[in-house]
A and B are shown apart, each in its own frame.
Chain A
Amino acid sequence: MTSPSAPAVRRATPPALAPERPVEWPKRTVRTLANGLQVVLAESRAFPKISAQLYFRSGNAIVSNSAPGLAEMTATVVRTGTASRSSRQIEEDLRRMGASLGTVSGADSSAISASGLAEFSPGILELIADLARNASFPDDEFERERRQRLEELKVERTTPGFLANERMRKTLFGQHPYAVIAPNEEQVAGLRREQLAGFYRDHYVPDGSLLIVVGDFSAAAMLEQVEKVFGGWKAAKPEAPKSAAPPRHTGRHVHLVNLPGTVQTQVLTGNLAITRRDPDWYRMVLANAIYGGAFHSRLVLNIREQKGYTYSPRSGISALRQQGFFTVHAAVRNEVVAATLTEIFYEIDRMRALPVTPEELDSARNYLSGVFSLGVATQDGVVGQLSTVYLDQLPEGYLETYRERIRALTAGDVVAAARRHFDSANAQIVVVGDRAQIGEQAALFGPVTHYDARGNVIP
């Protein structure tokens, strides 16, 4: 290996950025089959693999008032048997195709996804279709999975991050279905196999659903395969029920989940915000990046790099389909719970009151446009972005125009978004930790309601 000769240098200032190369998102082939299934294909040929995701637009939220846990349990049991394959056969078929399978249910959707070697593409698609159409919900597999879920729930109840998220969602969403992130043990124990089969029959349908396939194939040939495998499937889509509105919060309120003896406190603050379809979305994303959404953000600089209160503080916007919310989280040592909350709100108030500096603005705009585009380099990254676009029904040019939209934003946009969507005065505060050590600190920020780890209010 020879290197062109260049003198070794020591320079005191960072080199300037070279001219930027355009990011080219793969061309999408989009078709809606006669049965109503929307198909989105994109070539990504660096590695001989494919990644396929089949989404149904019904998830945990649609049953969270009637049968919490039903959607996620249905997804779990879907992979354990079909009319022609046993649980063991399914797992062995996957392995011999070099494939991994996930069947999950989130708040708004349920998904069957598989990735594997491109040479086995037809078999991988056929397996997904078999699970989507012919799942048999064997009794013994259901009972086994139910018992496993009951044990997992017990572990979740000892996990501070889970307890904080659970309490925040209940607080922010009230009677709205998004209030529930997990069923309780009695609800899981009460599920019946027939309910799972019923949810599957009603919601695992082609009409209105979405199949994304990304990988090492030619789109024309893949479209033919998809039509062959999924074209004969027919079922009508379910009606979408109306949801209760989430509550309006007035004033700060503290929700303390008591875990006696813990050596650290999980702090989480939040307020309702917006969805990706809101006109303020890009402004909100930029405000979040400057506030606490990146390593180089005000929150991280303050409570990690200056004060050393915490390891990995961050803020984020969770954009569910009907409603988004904004949260700030940090796991801190018990002595600095009040100090941490003070800084969280100080930084929120500063975002709401004062314009960000031109340097911060420039830095955050570049950060977002670069990191957004990193996804283009991997199949999973492309699948992730395409699922955002097509599940949320964003405009066709969303991927291509994201960078210019972010770069067009001003300091005024950031203040405007912070004032509308970072709520300081009415923030809901969750702290998970040892009440004896943190109770007085928490009470400085508003009236306190105490809970045990099971979610019961305690005196």
Chain B
Amino acid sequence: MRPKDRPLLGIEIHEGELRLAVVSESETSTQVHAAGHCKLPDGALRQGTVVDTGSVAVALKRLIVTHGLGDYKDAVIGIPAGGTVVRNLQVPPAPKEELAGIVAGEVEHYSIVSETGSHAFLRVHAPPKSNMELVGVVVAGAEANLIASLAEVAAKADLNIVAMEPIEFALCRTALASLGPEPTAIVITVTQTTTNLTFFRRGKLWAYRQLETGASALALKTRPAEPTALASEDPPLDPAAVLALSKELRRTLDYLGRNYPEDAKDATLHLATNEPSMLGLANMLSGYVERGVRLHIPGDSIVASPAARSSLESSQAVRYSAAIGLALRSHRVASEIAPPLDLFAAERSVNKAGVQKQRTAISIGMAVLVLLVGAVGMMIYERDISAKRRIVDALRGQIAVIQLSTSEALKERAGDIDQYRLLRSEGSPVVPLLDYLTNSLPPQTGLTSLTIGAGRLTRISGESVTEDGVMAVLRPLQSVPVIQGPRLDSMKVDTEKNGYTFTIVGTLVGMDQVRLPGPGAPLQ
């Protein structure tokens, strides 16, 4: 939403000119920052509708840049007088929130604008004339093509449309801005094609009337051959047309005097126009209606910045009245008396809805796209994870098989070792015994036989020349670990051999008592 104190651009597309004004408003002051105009390209505006939006936008942008107003983007566009339809309607009384719907129905019923057109309304506060309890509204409408053409101009000029308002009402606001609060006044606004009479009673809209007599009808068609001194300052007006207008004005005053005698008598008359050719109209009307008519020139009643002062000091400043009135949209007094209208509201809401729909669609599309990308990524991850997990499971299976077979092999090996140890214990350590015997034999001593029988009972027989030789065989055997309990079983004198024969008996230990020889013997 636009901050209230940000300056607004008021733009009026006049038949011959493009006019703009920048106005800032605060709680305490209103100031015109800039006002300017330029010639409108020929044929750009036809019967109130912009037909060449491109050239108008270019001219508008140039005008904005020329006045150094490029930073101002918020604009109120004026709907040209010829493009607006204004009607008084009587509608059943209804709460404020329901009134819009009722008015819309009446607009459609009376075909004030086509179905696609836009309208806005102001509540008339005067009591109804009859007892039918109807209330009055002033409806302003414009066709869709006109609204669209103005929107196109704004879009091409890179402006943000705050509102679109008929210039009749903008002119009225210019006059109201210089009146105090709760004025009782008749504001006469003269546009190119219409004159509008608006009666405000104590700050409320009381009556409205539109006359089809505008500046183009009131201005003199041909200039006098020798202008008078007065005429040299004020453009000439058609006395007959002014007289006709004054008659209509008097008729309105009479009507108001009849219906609201006290208020109509006190009401002041104010003239606001955007046509420099109408400068003399106030004086002429004063003479005809015998009441003072005050012409409102923006520079007289609204503070102008130094930059805008030169534009607003001359009498030609009335050309900016409509543009300034458009930019005075938030004026604290005027907007209370005559609430600002916006004929772009419906179009804006449609545009907003369209943009919102588009954004929603893009948002949903992006969200779906992101989710899809995420889902695809997650699926790819899931696939790879599953593949790796399958490999892990297969490897675990292989490891289990390997470990089982290894365990069985080791178990079998352990069994073989135990079996080997057990069975080896049944063997006899013959070779160690032989080695002990042969290594311990003394001289002149020999073995004749060796017998190992059941239970490893061992008999060692031999012969020796001396008894000591026999003992020399027996004694070491008693400390030999492979034989247990060796003893001399017999010793006899052998006369033939001139010596002794002997027999030693003992029991051999099992092979388990003997170390396994050599490398590669895992059982040691």
Do A and B come together as binding partners? no
